[in-house]
Every structure is written in structure tokens, then in C-alpha cells.
């Protein structure tokens, strides 16, 4: 998945598992940028009685690189605390939760937001309330109202929300993880000698699941090196790198016959996320946990996985005869290095650049001078829409298709005009679009949809 359960260690620590990251110029407020960082993969909405929540023992961060060195120049940090009103009750709520401060809600979460820039630390807000999880018509009868009460204004024209949202990342998990099968093309799959399959429509494996989102909307000038609001697309100052992370303290000590847990030491990163699917697809199994512990500035050591992606060698094997040109392509994939690790320099795509320099660093790169698109294309830049992925990432961008096609060779002509991509490279997809989502996106902050209530959710069925 984008980055859900993408590495062995973090798959066992969902509360710190960074699942998706979005960064885009807010379409309904174009003087601002919205950054959304998701955690807690695949929340089943009925997962009580201890419903999902952020970790008070985790530090969540949104990191901004303003000078292209792959290290954070601006950090927004989020620290959570949980308050239990009645420890003698096993109930999450003892009656309908009609407002975010309801006395019926037994287990509330609050958080602080701190911005650090070049050593200057500013607390932007404390005691900010999260909404409850969406439980059902008796417990959370007006969930949208509860969520709206959890949107907080911060000083400096900033806005924040932290809480449960509908999963917006659409992907056919069941199919892709079954040996690279893509249902719309499974009639062409090698099937390893097993009976042939018939092409089928994609199935959204994340449908109706929820995540926990930290959404932050800030003025564009909050993210730039000199506090400016760039208007020149070609200016290096217009591009920032964005990644999210989660950290835990170095030591955890437990005591026998006790619920006492002591944590101590520095905060050490256990999860990070820039471009979707980077650690998932381009980093080997034995190195994924290490990758999660490092800053983007250390990504040079993972460049080989980008230059020679394993998936690019598998596609011609899994789909015999479908990718003949890709099968012959053995040169390092400078196109993927540019898209994922340096940004695209000026002159590659007319009128566009999101280049941050020669440092190889996995970050979402956002050119802040590019306004939101009036006619967005879910394929972003390869669909002719420079306001979309890989220029940042919007909630509806079809990053699975974009990255599949890029790895299949559709972007290689950007660096070698003599290469002709296979026809299939421009058509490959898992067959999903935002229309595949049962829970739609919102047109305004926090943009990710209303999470499904537990009562309203049926257990998983079969295809």
C-alpha cells in the first residue's frame, strides 16, 4: 500500500505507522497549503471497545525542507494526551456524544502543535480536542458536526485537525499482493502455470476502512525559506520538500505485576513517508526498517532500488510479451530518480519544475507557485495537470496508476527521447478511480471523507 504496513517493524506498531502523506495548494483557499499525514492503517470502523486513537507515547511530525538538503528546516510537531473520565467503566462512551466536550465520552484525546524553524520553537496550540471515532447512530449521531468542532484555528492563519477520517488511498490490495496481479489485465498474467484468469474490474481494498489523520493548513509563506509567497514557477525558492514521520523514545521499561511503563531517552524516528510506495516498493525487505529510521538526506544509499526497480524486471515476467521494450531497458532509471529523489529540473516538462538539487532524498516536492487546477486530472503531471502528483500529492491523485506506469517505462522518454514505452505502459492500472471509494472526499478542509460508522459497516465479504 502507499505506506501501510510497509516495513516489518512498523507493521507491528500501527499507532506510529505513517500510511499516506498529501501536500497541495488548497483548492478552495489557494493562499494556503494543506498537508495531511495519516497513521493507523486499515482501521475497521467497528473496532471497539477501545477504538483507535493517536499514541501519547509517539511524536508525530510534518517536516519541511526549504533548501534541498533533505533535512528538516521547519518542523510541525504533534503530541497527544489521553484523558479518561471514569476509569471504572469499560465504555468508550456512556451515552450519545452530541458535542466534542460531551460528558458521555469517556476517553478523549487532546494535542499540542509546535512549530520549530531554525532553532526557534513556537507553541501554536495546546489542549486541542480530537473528535471521537465514528461508532454508530446511537453514539455519534451527527459525526460531521463532531468533526467540524475538531477543526481548530491556530495563530498566523493556520488551521489544524487531528482525528479519524475515511481512508482515501484507493488500491486493489487483494489483487496486487497476489503476485502482482492487476484485475483489468489478469487475462495476460503468467499465472505460474495455474489456470488462466479472466479480466475483471478492480476492487478497492481499503474501502470503508478508516485512518487517523493530522491535517494542517498553513499560509504558503509559512513553508518557504524567507517567508515569501512564490509566484515564479521556475524559482528554486518555489519548491519545498515535505515528509512526515513518527518517533518513539529510545527506551521502554515495564515492571512486573504492574501497568507502569517508563519511557526515556531521545525521540527516535520509527516511521517516515514522502512519496507514496517508496519504502513499500523500492526498498528491499531487509532494509525497510533502517529506511524508516533515517532522514531523507540519507537516501543516497537506497538509490539503486530506484535506478533498477525490482518491479520493472518483474512486469515482463508476470505479463509475458506485454512489456518487450521494458524487458530490454537495463539503463539506470534516471526518470524515477528525478521524479522521486531530486524533483524534475526545468526543461524536462515544459513550464514545470520541482527540482530541489542534487541531494537524493525521498520527499514530496511541491512547487508552491503552481495554482490549483480548475480541471484536475487524477493522473497529475503525466495526465497534463502540473498541480498534481508528483508535484505534491492531492487526496484524489491516482498514485498507484502513476507509479505503475512510471515504473513500466512511460516516463523514461523524459530522460531518453529515443526510448519508446510499451503500449501497455500507458494503460496499466489496477482499475480504480476516486469513484471506487464508497466514502467521498470533501471539497474543503480536511478534504478526506467522513469515516464510516462502526454500526453502518458490514464485515468484509468476498469478491
> Under the criterion CB under 8 A, does residue 250 sit at the interface with another protein?
yes
How far is 45 from 52, CA to CA, in rounded Å? 9
> Under the criterion CB under 8 A, does residue 423 sit at the interface with another protein?
no
For residue 409, count CB atoms less than 10 angstroms from its CB and return exposed for 0-12, middle for 13-18, buried for 19 or more.
buried
Kindly indicate which of the ranges 243-251, 346-354, 359-367, 403-411 contains the residues binding another protein, using the contact rule CB under 8 A. Answer: 243-251
> Under the criterion CB under 8 A, does residue 266 sit at the interface with another protein?
yes
Shortest distance (Å) from residue 262 CB to another protein: 5
Helix (H, G, I), strand (E, B) or coil at 193: helix
Exactly one of 11, 104, 221, 249 binds another protein (CB under 8 A); that residue is 249
User: Which H/E stretch holds residue 173?
Assistant: helix 173-176
Shortest distance (Å) from residue 267 CB to another protein: 7
Shortest distance (Å) from residue 77 CB to another protein: 12
Helix, strand, coil tally for the chain in percent (to 5): 25, 25, 50
Kindly indicate which of the ranges 85-93, 114-122, 257-265, 278-286 contains the residues binding another protein, using the contact rule CB under 8 A. Answer: 257-265
**Which of 85/261 has CB closer to another protein?**
261
> Under the criterion CB under 8 A, does residue 265 sit at the interface with another protein?
yes
The upper half-sphere exposure of residue 313, i.e. CA atoms within 13 Å in the direction of its Cβ, equals 11
- Would you give the DSSP letter of residue 227? S
> Under the criterion CB under 8 A, does residue 264 sit at the interface with another protein?
yes
**Which of 122/262 has CB closer to another protein?**
262
Closest by CA to 295, choosing from 314, 268, 320, is: 268
**Which of 149/263 has CB closer to another protein?**
263
> Under the criterion CB under 8 A, does residue 251 sit at the interface with another protein?
yes
> Under the criterion CB under 8 A, does residue 455 sit at the interface with another protein?
no
**Which of 111/170 has CB closer to another protein?**
111
Shortest distance (Å) from residue 252 CB to another protein: 9
**103-111: Cβ within 8 A, 24+ apart:** 105/132, 107/50, 107/51, 107/53, 107/82, 107/83, 108/82, 108/83, 108/132, 109/53, 109/54, 109/80, 109/81, 109/82, 109/83, 110/80, 110/81, 110/83, 111/54, 111/78, 111/79, 111/80, 111/81, 111/162
Q: Is 168 left (phi over 0), alpha (psi -120 to 50) or beta?
A: alpha
Kindly indicate which of the ranges 88-96, 114-122, 185-193, 259-267 contains the residues binding another protein, using the contact rule CB under 8 A. Answer: 259-267
Helix (H, G, I), strand (E, B) or coil at 252: strand
Kindly indicate which of the ranges 10-18, 218-226, 246-254, 269-277 contains the residues binding another protein, using the contact rule CB under 8 A. Answer: 246-254
How far is 417 from 304, CA to CA, in rounded Å? 22
**Which of 94/293 has CB closer to another protein?**
293
Shortest distance (Å) from residue 409 CB to another protein: 46
**Number of residues near another protein (by CB under 8 A):** 9
> Under the criterion CB under 8 A, does residue 253 sit at the interface with another protein?
yes
> Under the criterion CB under 8 A, does residue 56 sit at the interface with another protein?
no
> Under the criterion CB under 8 A, does residue 304 sit at the interface with another protein?
no
> Under the criterion CB under 8 A, does residue 254 sit at the interface with another protein?
no
Question: Under a CB-based contact definition with an 8 Å cutoff, are residues 415 and 336 in contact?
Answer: no
Give residue for cell 507557485. Answer: 369
Residues lying near another protein in the complex (CB under 8 A) are found at: 249-251, 253, 262, 264-267
Amino acid at each position: 500500500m502507499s505506506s501501510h504496513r510497509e516495513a516489518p517493524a512498523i507493521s507491528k506498531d500501527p499507532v506510529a505507522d505513517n500510511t499516506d502523506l498529501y501536500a497541495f495548494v488548497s483548492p478552495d483557499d489557494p493562499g494556503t497549503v494543506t498537508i495531511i499525514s495519516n497513521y493507523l492503517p486499515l482501521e475497521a470502523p467497528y473496532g471497539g471497545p477501545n477504538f483507535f486513537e493517536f499514541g501519547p507515547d509517539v511524536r508525530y511530525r510534518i517536516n519541511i525542507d526549504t533548501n534541498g538538503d533533505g533535512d528538516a528546516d521547519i518542523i510541525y510537531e504533534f503530541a497527544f494526551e489521553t484523558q479518561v473520565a471514569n476509569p471504572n467503566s469499560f465504555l468508550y462512551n456512556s451515552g450519545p456524544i452530541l458535542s466534542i466536550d460531551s460528558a458521555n465520552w469517556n476517553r478523549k484525546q487532546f494535542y499540542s502543535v509546535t512549530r520549530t524553524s531554525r532553532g526557534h520553537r513556537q507553541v501554536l496550540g495546546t489542549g486541542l480536542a480530537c473528535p471521537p471515532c465514528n461508532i454508530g447512530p446511537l453514539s455519534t449521531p451527527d459525526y460531521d458536526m463532531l468533526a467540524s468542532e475538531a477543526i481548530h484555528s491556530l495563530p498566523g492563519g493556520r488551521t489544524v485537525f487531528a482525528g479519524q477520517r475515511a481512508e482515501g488511498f484507493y488500491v486493489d490490495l487483494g489483487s496486487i499482493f497476489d503476485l502482482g496481479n492487476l484485475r483489468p489485465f489478469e487475462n495476460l498474467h503468467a499465472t505460474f502455470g495455474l489456470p488462466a484468469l479472466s479480466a475483471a474490474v478492480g476492487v478497492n481494498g481499503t474501502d470503508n476502512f478508516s485512518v487517523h489523520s493530522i491535517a494542517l493548513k498553513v499560509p504558503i509563506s509559512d513553508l518557504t525559506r524567507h517567508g515569501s509567497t512564490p509566484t515564479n514557477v521556475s524559482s528554486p525558492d518555489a519548491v519545498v520538500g515535505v515528509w512526515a514521520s513518527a518517533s518513539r523514545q529510545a527506551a521502554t521499561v515495564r515492571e512486573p505485576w504492574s501497568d507502569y511503563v517508563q519511557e526515556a531517552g531521545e525521540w527516535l524516528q520509527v516511521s517516515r513517508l514522502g512519496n507514496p510506495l517508496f519504502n513499500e516498493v523500492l526498498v528491499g525487505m531487509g532494509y525497510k526498517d533502517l529506511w524508516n529510521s533515517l532522514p531523507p538526506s540519507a537516501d543516497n544509499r537506497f538509490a539503486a532500488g530506484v535506478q533498477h526497480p525490482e518491479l520493472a524486471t518483474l512486469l515482463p515476467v508476470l505479463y509475458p510479451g506485454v512489456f518487450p521494450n521494458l524487458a530490454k531497458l537495463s539503463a539506470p532509471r534516471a526518470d524515477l530518480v528525478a521524479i522521486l529523489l531530486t524533483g524534475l529540473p526545468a526543461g524536462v516538462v515544459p513550464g514545470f519544475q520541482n527540482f530541489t538539487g542534487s541531494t537524493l532524498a525521498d520527499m514530496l516536492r511541491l512547487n508552491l507557485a503552481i495554482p490549483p487546477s480548475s480541471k484536475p486530472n487524477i493522473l497529475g503531471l503525466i495526465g497534463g495537470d502540473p498541480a498534481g502528483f508528483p508535484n505534491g500529492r492531492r487526496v484524489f491523485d491516482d498514485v498507484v496508476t502513476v507509479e505503475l506506469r512510471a515504473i513500466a517505462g512511460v516516463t523514461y522518454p523524459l530522460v531518453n527521447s529515443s526510448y519508446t514505452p510499451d503500449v501497455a505502459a500507458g494503460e496499466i492500472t489496477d482499475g480504480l478511480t476516486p469513484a471506487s471509494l464508497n466514502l467521498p472526499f470533501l471539497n474543503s478542509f480536511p478534504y478526506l471523507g467522513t469515516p464510516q460508522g462502526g454500526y453502518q459497516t458490514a464485515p468484509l465479504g468476498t469478491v
